[in-house]
Amino acid sequence: MPAGLTLNARQRAVDAFYAEHGPCCAGCDWWRYVNSVAGECTRTVPVAGPQRFAMLGIEGASLDPGAGHIMTPRDHLCGEFKDESPCPD
């Protein structure tokens, strides 16, 4: 996905992925996308920087990203999935 996507285009890409794949982070109310393929799960408390990106397969990053919510790929699904928001157009 091109980096220059507008916010609305990115939201549409995330919504389209959810519509096509069913329950997953992309459609979860706890998820805040960072780009069209990865985002933060706000369901749990923040963690230390190196742990934030482990689920994306990133280890030993040379820069410390700082503490924050866990990043997950859009197709991940866990037992805390929730979608109580209105369906996108």
Question: Minimum CB separation from ligand SF4 for residue 45, in Å?
Answer: 12
Contact call for residue 30 and ligand SF4 (CB under 6 A): yes
Q: Which residue has the tokens 């996308």?
A: 33
Looking at 23-83, list the stretches that DSSP marks H as alpha helix, in order from N- to C-terminal side: 49-52
The verdict on 76 binding ligand SF4 (CB under 6 A) reads yes
73 touches ligand SF4 (CB under 6 A): no
Task: Please give the helix or strand (H or E) that residue 21 lies within, else none.
Answer: helix 7-21
Residue 13 CA to residue 20 CA, distance in Å, equals 11
Binding-site member from 14, 17, 18, 28 for ligand SF4 (CB under 6 A): 28
For ligand SF4, which stretch binds (CB under 6 A), given 5-13, 28-36, 45-53, 59-67?
A: 28-36
81 binds ligand SF4 (CB under 6 A): yes
Q: How far is CA 63 from CA 3, 41, 57, 59, 86, in A?
A: 21, 21, 15, 11, 38
Interface contacts to ligand SF4, rule CB under 6 A: 25, 28, 30-31, 41, 43, 72, 76-78, 80-81
